[in-house]
A and B are shown apart, each in its own frame.
Chain A
Amino acid sequence: MAVDIPQNVQDLIGKPQYEEKTEFPIEVGYVFNTCAAVQNGNPIYWDAEVADQIVGGRIAPPTMLSVWFRPHYWSPGAEGERTALQTHFDLKRLLDLPEAIVSGNEAAFGEPVRMGDTLTTRQIVRSVSEFKQTKLGQGRFWTIDVETYNQHGEWVGTESYTCLGYRRQEVAA
């Protein structure tokens, strides 16, 4: 572990946080939107009969795993911007790094996500790097795992995000 990490950030590493359920049951409209956005004509997503034959019913593309946990942009009673991957924004704040990008993504996929499923997720900070100089500015890399289970307790996937939080380079006048 890097030695210059603040204690309040070190305390987060390895600790499951933000267990939450999907805000709505998994539904086919978003599956169609996703497939349309990338022109994915795979018939298991478009043809109910093919889906029944091959997968035992309609499912979502595995790479949609993170889609189900992004909050609506607005909802009644919510204040301020609603964000997914809250641990990422926590790290930006705790490390005082105002800008951030996702630099890498790894995912493993388990049980297929089916229409009507209710999913539960939790976030775990796996690592935070020491300060590094990058092309975008000085910052740190961190890795966050997001583990997801369905309503039967079956593992449906884990996504691992590597992010760079940074301060923009000051440009000399």
Chain B
Amino acid sequence: MMASVNLTAADVKEGDELPPLSHAVTATTVVLGAMASRDWRPMHHDKEFAIHRNGVKDIFINTPNNAAWFERYITDWTGPKGRLGRMKFKMKRPVFPGDTMVFNGRVVRMSVDDSGCQWVELEVTVSVDGQVNTECQARVAIPCDPHDNPWQRKASRWQP
């Protein structure tokens, strides 16, 4: 299990870059993600279907698995107290077996809401061969200080 980091507001500033993450995608990567997300649609496991019905070159990573990769990338950076509030992404090109996904991220804004929650707005991309395949905007809460824990926020104290 990875060593646990616990980022707090003092550790982050606007413009910071997240460490890149690289992953070589195989057919197994695609199928594992589709099955884990209970997505049985054939374009995520049946190459013939993907080619002849979807008009693409191979099976490709499905939407919920794309989200799971983004979540993993972001919380690798924040540590376990990082709590996702919102995530939006746009898939411009599918990710296929044989591609190497490279995740990059940047802190675009930091803010504290009226309940005292520390928010970090991120721009994250997945690129293959230097071209952006998916763009993501995420809003994640991190501790204001070492004693804070965003996971303890409920109701009006949680404003994603």
Asked if B68 and A30 sit within 8 Å, CB to CB, the answer is: no
Further contacts, 9 of them, CB under 8 A, given A37-B37, A108-B85, A111-B158? A36-B32, A41-B2, A63-B84, A67-B38, A70-B38, A73-B40, A102-B91, A110-B158, A112-B151
Contact of A70 among B37, B54, B84, B87 (CB under 8 A): B37
Bound-state CA distance A72–B40 (Å) is 9
Knowing A33-B35, A33-B36 are in contact, say whether A38-B65 is a contact too (CB < 8 A).
Answer: yes
* Number of chain A interface residues as a range: 35 or more
Bound-state CA distance A104–B91 (Å) is 6
Number of B interface residues in the complex (CB < 8 A): 45
Task: Name B's A-contacting residues (CB within 8 A).
Answer: 1-2, 4, 23, 29, 32-33, 35-40, 53-55, 63-72, 75-76, 80-81, 83-91, 149, 151-152, 154, 158, 160
Task: Check A34 for interface membership: any CB of B closer than 8 A.
Answer: yes
Task: Check A105 for interface membership: any CB of B closer than 8 A.
Answer: yes
CB closest residue in chain A, given B72: A40
Bound-state CA distance A41–B3 (Å) is 9
Where chain A touches its partner, the secondary structure class is mixed
Task: Name A's B-contacting residues (CB within 8 A).
Answer: 30, 33-44, 46-47, 50, 54-56, 61-64, 66-67, 70, 72-73, 84, 99, 101-112, 136, 161, 168
CB neighbours of A111 from chain B (8 A): 154, 158
